Amino acid sequence: MKKDKNTPPNPEPPEKLTGLKTGSPKKTAAGIPAVISSAQHVFGAMGLGRGLKALAHLNQKSGFDCPGCAWPDPDDDRSPMAEYCENGAKAIAEEATTKKLDASFFKKNSISYLASLSDYEIGKKGRLAQPMFLPQGADHYEEISWEDAFKKIADHLNTLNHPDEAIFYTSGRTSNEAAFLYQLFVREYGTNNMPDCSNMCHESSGVALTDTLGIGKGSVKLEDFYETDLILILGQNPGTNHPRMLSALEKAKKNGAYIISVNPLLETGLLNFNNPQHLKGVLGFSTSLTDIYLQVKINGDMALLQALTKLLLNREDQAPGSVLDHDFIEKKTEGIDSYLAHIRSLDISNLIAQCGIPLGELEKVADIIASKPKMIVCWAMGLTQHKNSVNTIKELVNMLLLKGSIGKPGAGTCPVRGHSNVQGDRTMGIYEKPPKSLLDNLEKEFHFSPPRKNGYDTVESIKAMHQGEAKVFFAMGGNFLSATPDTLYTAQALQNCALTVQVSTKLNRSHLIHGKEALILPCLGRTDKDIQNGELQFVSVENSMGIVHSSMGSLPPVSDQLLSEAAIVCGLAKATLPNSKVNWDRYLQHYDHIRDSIEACIPGFNNYNQQVRQPAGFYLPNCARDNSYDTPTGKAKFSISKSEYVSLEEKELLMMTIRSHDQFNTTIYGLNDRYRGIYHERRVILMNEKDLQSRKLKNKELVDLYNYHDGKERIAKKFIVLSYNIPEKCCATYFPEANVLVPVGSTADFSNTPTSKSVVIQVKKHKSQESEIN
Ligand SMILES: Nc1nc2c(c(=O)[nH]1)N[C@H]1C(S)=C(S)[C@@H](COP(=O)(O)OP(=O)(O)OC[C@H]3O[C@@H](n4cnc5c(=O)[nH]c(N)nc54)[C@H](O)[C@@H]3O)O[C@H]1N2
Ligand SMILES: Nc1nc2c(c(=O)[nH]1)N[C@H]1C(S)=C(S)[C@@H](COP(=O)(O)OP(=O)(O)OC[C@H]3O[C@@H](n4cnc5c(=O)[nH]c(N)nc54)[C@H](O)[C@@H]3O)O[C@H]1N2
Ligand SMILES: [Mo]
Q: Report the separation in Å between the CA atom of 661 and the middle of ligand 3, taken as the mean of its atom positions.
A: 15
Structure letter (DSSP) for residue 772: -
Index of the ligand 2 atom closest to the CA of residue 523: 38
Q: Are 693 and 701 in contact (CB under 8 A)?
A: no
CB of 486 closer than 6 angstroms to any ligand 1 atom: no
| Cβ of 510 below 6 Å from ligand 2 | no
Give the mutation target among 198, 203, 654, 659 for probing the ligand 1 site: most ligand atoms within 8 A of CB: 659
Does ligand 2 have an atom closer than 6 angstroms to the CB of 477? Answer: yes
Query: Is 164 close to ligand 1, i.e. is its CB under 6 Å away?
Result: no
Residue 380 Cα to ligand 3 midpoint, Å, equals: 9
Establish whether the linkage from the previous residue to 736 is cis, with ω within 30° of 0.
yes
CA distance 467 to 471: 10
| Ligand nearest to the backbone CA of 483 | 2
Q: Which ligand is nearest to the CA of 67?
A: 2
**pLDDT, tens only, 434-466:** 999 999 999 999 999 999 999 999 999 999 999
- DSSP states of 168-186: EEE-TT--HHHHHHHHHHH
Determine the residue of 94, 173, 487, 752 to mutate for testing ligand 2's pocket, defined as the one with the most ligand atoms within 8 A of the Cβ atom: 173
Q: What is the dihedral of CA 694, 697, 698, 701, to 10 degrees?
A: -160
Does ligand 2 come within 6 angstroms of the Cβ of 503?
Answer: yes
Q: Cα of 172 to ligand 2 centre, how many Å?
A: 8
Give the Cα separation of 761 and 372 in Å (integer). Answer: 40
- For the chain, give the mean pLDDT: 94
Which ranges of 559-666 would DSSP assign to H, the alpha helix? 565-576, 584-589, 591-601, 608-611
304 CA from centroid of ligand 2 (Å): 31
Which strand (E) or helix (H) includes residue 142? Answer: strand 142-143
| Contact yes or no for 393/413 (Cβ under 8 A) | no
Going from the Cα of 480 to the center of ligand 1, the distance in angstroms, rounded, reads 18
Q: How far apart are CA 103 and CA 99, in angstroms?
A: 13
The full set of domains in the chain, from first to last, is 99-200+446-614 (3.40.50.740), 204-415 (3.40.228.10), 652-765 (2.40.40.20)
Residues 6+ apart with CB under 8 A from 774: 17, 18, 19
Distance 774 CA to ligand 3 centre (A): 33
Question: Which residue's C-alpha comes closest to atom 41 of ligand 2?
Answer: 506
Centroid of ligand 2 to alpha carbon of 75 (angstroms)? 28
Which residues have C-beta within 8 Å of that of residue 345, sequence separation ≥ 6? none
Q: What angle do CA 73, 79, 81 make, to 5 degrees?
A: 120
Query: What is the four-CA torsion angle of 324, 327, 332, 337, rounded to 10 degrees?
Result: 50
Strands 142-143 and 730-734: unpaired
Residues in the 5 Å CB sphere of ion ligand 3? 201, 418
Which residue puts its alpha carbon closest to atom 39 of ligand 1?
A: 235
Atom of ligand 1 minimally distant from the CA of 267: 44
Probe residue for ligand 1, chosen from 263, 302, 685, 725 as the CB with the greatest number of ligand atoms within 8 Å:
263
- Between CA 139 and CA 1 the distance in angstroms is 6
**CA gap 179, 429 in Å, rounded:** 8
Please name the residue whose Cα sits nearest to atom 2 of ligand 1. 241
Side-chain half-sphere exposure of 746, counting CA atoms within 13 A: 24
Query: Whole-angstrom Cα distance, residue 449 to residue 439?
Result: 8
> Which protein residue's CA is at the shortest distance from atom 19 of ligand 1?
381
Residue 201 in contact with ligand 1 by CB distance below 6 A: yes
> pLDDT digits over 661-699, tens only?
999 999 999 999 999 999 999 999 999 999 999 999 999
Q: Which residues pair with 730 in a beta bridge?
A: 654
Which ligand has the nearest atom to the CA of 383? 1
Q: Positive or negative, the Cα torsion across 668, 669, 674, 677?
A: positive
Question: Is the CB of residue 289 less than 8 Å from the CB of residue 91?
Answer: no
659 touches ligand 1 (CB under 6 Å): yes
Q: What angle, 0 to 180 degrees and rounded to 10, lies between the N-to-C axes of helices 301-318 and 348-355? A: 140
For 343, list phi and psi in degrees, rounded to 5: -60, -40
Q: What is the pLDDT of residue 280?
A: 62
- Shortest-distance Cα residue to atom 13 of ligand 1: 418
Instruction: Give DSSP secondary structure letters for 755-767.
Output: -TT-EEEEEEE--
Global pTM value: 0.96
Omega prior to 754 cis, within 30 of 0 = no
Distance separating alpha carbons of residues 377 and 335, to the nearest angstrom = 21
Looking at residue 202, the DSSP 8-state letter turns out to be T
Residue with the smallest CA separation from ligand 2 atom 34 is 525
Distance separating alpha carbons of residues 278 and 110, to the nearest angstrom: 49
In 58-175, which ranges are continuous DSSP H helix?
A: 86-95, 103-108, 111-115, 119-123, 146-159
Question: How far does residue 8's CA lie from ligand 1's centre (Å)?
Answer: 33
Euclidean distance between CA atoms 581 and 78, whole angstroms: 44
Tell me, what amino acid is at 121? E
Q: Residue 23 class from Cβ within 10 Å (0-12 exposed, 13-18 middle, 19+ buried)? A: exposed
The response to whether residue 656 sits with its C-beta less than 6 Å from ligand 1 reads yes
Q: Are strands 618-619 and 730-734 parallel, antiparallel or unpaired?
A: unpaired
CB-ligand 2 contact for 417 (6 Å cutoff): no
Please tell me the distance between residue 70's alpha carbon and the centre of ligand 3 in angstroms: 10
Which DSSP helix (H) or strand (E) runs through 336?
A: helix 336-345
Burial class (CB in 10 A: 0-12, 13-18, 19+), 4: exposed
| Residue among 87, 381, 646 whose CB has most ligand 1 atoms within 8 A, to mutate | 381
Distance of CA 148 to the CA centre of its chain: 33
Residues in the chain predicted with pLDDT less than 50, given as ranges, are: 1, 5, 80-82, 771-774
Nearest to 73 by CA among 273, 188, 296, 245: 245
Q: How many CB atoms lie within 10 A of CB 10?
A: 17
Amino acid type, 281: G
730 lines ligand 1 (CB under 6 A): no
Atom number in ligand 2 closest to CA 526: 35
User: Which residue puts its alpha carbon closest to atom 11 of ligand 2?
Assistant: 201
SS3 string, 242-289, reads CCHHHHHHHHHHHCCCEEEEECCCCCHHHHEEECCCCHHHHCCCCEEC
* 668 touches ligand 1 (CB under 6 Å): no
Given a contact cutoff of 8 angstroms between Cβ atoms, the answer to whether 200 and 756 are in contact is yes
User: Do residues 88 and 96 lie in contact, with contact meaning Cβ atoms separated by under 8 Å?
Assistant: no
Centre of ligand 1 to C-alpha 769, Å, is: 36
CA pair distance 256, 556, nearest whole angstrom: 45
Task: Give yes or no for residue 381 CB within 6 A of ligand 2.
Answer: yes
Whether residue 376 contacts residue 396, with contact meaning beta carbons closer than 8 Å, is answered with no
Atom of ligand 2 nearest to the CA of 171: 19
Report CA(263)–ligand 1 centroid distance (Å): 10
